[in-house]
Amino acid sequence: MRIPFLNNGPAEKKGIRLNRRLITFLFCVIVSAFFWLLMSLSKEYTIELRFPVSYINSPADKVIANPLPSTIDIEIRSSGFNIFIYKLKHKKETVLIDIKDSKSLPVKNHYYLLTNSRTDKITAQFDNDIKVIKVYPDSIFLNFNKKVARKVPVKTNLKIDFDKQYQQSDSVKVIPDYITISGAADVVNKINYVEAEPVTLKGVNDSLSLKLNIMKTPDIKMVDLSHSTVQVLVNATKYTEGTSELPIEIENLPRGYGLKIFPDKVTVKYHVAFENYEKINALQFRAVVDYSKIEQGSTKLKVQLLKYPSEIRSVKLNPEKVEFIIKK
């Protein structure tokens, strides 16, 4: 059986020619656009960009009392390529403003700084092919106050939920517990303490060492801190419950009188660190009732625990009050 030879038809040949022409056309367009872009980026342009600003060379014995601009707008001239790169940058370079360039005003401790008078200093902070034309704002005003310093305590805001049978074994330690703040006298004198950032912890069953930042309240942002962080130590210990039965002693009983109490013993329940449990005994306690505390018409006296070991906590008495009979 003979298989007929397959030939491309006229329509198919025409389609191939059209595809080749389209590809050639698109290639020419892309090449033209590329050269047009190169030519455009090689030209010089003037554009205004916003930059973060930092102030340097502030007098050591003074502090700036008024808020200063955190950003400035700079009109720059450069090639389109350089401007394109700057606009792509997510984080722009910080521009430094030298406070030494400021000049005094007639009012004491008030100064002004003309940013456009020192565009050479700002230009020097950019690449060689960037020229600074103008800076906005053109004037920055500065109010100086005498710089003072004082020590203030550090406060913590801890919310700790300990695991079952665990408790805090001693007071929270903060290192350092005092820090030095310095700045304008009117601001510094208003600050009586600083606070560490709040912390909430749950299920704690071990001692902790935390590094916490000092909270930046509006006043704190206006002063310098000797420490921006503090270390907080929390000691956690496993506790168990202990009990001791004690005789109740009678105090301030007048001569010739007797006092019969019911019951004459009290049970003390307490929590104690696991390692100290065996150290606790009844001789370390003293429970009393005070005859002078008897109120007219009352038949009960409150039991007071006058002595107990420093190692225990969460102390409870049972009973808290006892009945009594006075004998003459």
DSSP 172-237: -EEESSEEEEEEEHHHHTT---EEBPPEEEEEE-S-EEEEEEBP--TTGGGSEES-SEEEEEE-EE
Angle at 84 (CA atoms; ends 114, 27), nearest 5 degrees: 160
The one-letter amino acid code at 164 reads K
In a domain, 23, yes or no: no
Q: What is the CATH number of the domain that holds 200?
A: 2.170.120.40
pLDDT in tens, 86-123: 666 645 678 999 998 889 899 888 899 998 888 888 88
Give the 3-state DSSP-derived string for 277-292, with helices as H, strands as E and coil as C.
Answer: HHHCCHHHCEEEEEHH
In a domain, 251, yes or no: yes
Q: How many separate domains does the chain show?
A: 3
Question: In angstroms, how far is CA 226 from the centroid of its own chain?
Answer: 15
Domain shared by 298 and 220, yes or no? no
Domain shared by 53 and 77, yes or no? yes
Q: What is the CATH number of the domain that holds 295?
A: 2.170.120.30
In a domain, 193, yes or no: yes
- In this structure, are strands 286-290 and 236-251 parallel, antiparallel, or unpaired? parallel
pLDDT of 167 > 60? The answer is yes
| Least reliable range by pLDDT among 16-20, 124-128, 244-248, 322-326 | 16-20
Domain shared by 296 and 312, yes or no? yes
Domain shared by 48 and 133, yes or no? yes
Last residue of a domain, one of 186, 218, 234: 234
pLDDT in tens, 38-91: 565 556 778 888 889 999 988 878 888 788 898 999 888 877 677 767 666 645
Mean pLDDT, rounded, for 147-165: 89
In a domain, 313, yes or no: yes
In a domain, 224, yes or no: yes
In a domain, 245, yes or no: yes
Task: Let me know: does 247 contact 288? Beta carbons within 8 Å.
Answer: no
Last residue of a domain, one of 188, 215, 234: 234
Q: Give the SS3 label for residue 45.
A: strand
In a domain, 209, yes or no: yes
Total residues belonging to the chain = 328
pLDDT in tens, 183-232: 888 889 899 999 999 998 888 888 889 999 999 998 898 888 999 999 99
Give the pLDDT of residue 67. Answer: 84
Last residue of a domain, one of 115, 137, 159: 137
The one-letter amino acid code at 199 reads V
Domain range enclosing 185: 146-234
pLDDT of 1 > 60? The answer is no
Return the closest-CA partner of residue 118 out of 95, 101, 103.
Answer: 101
Q: How far apart (Å, rounded) are the C-alpha atoms in residues 179 and 172?
A: 17
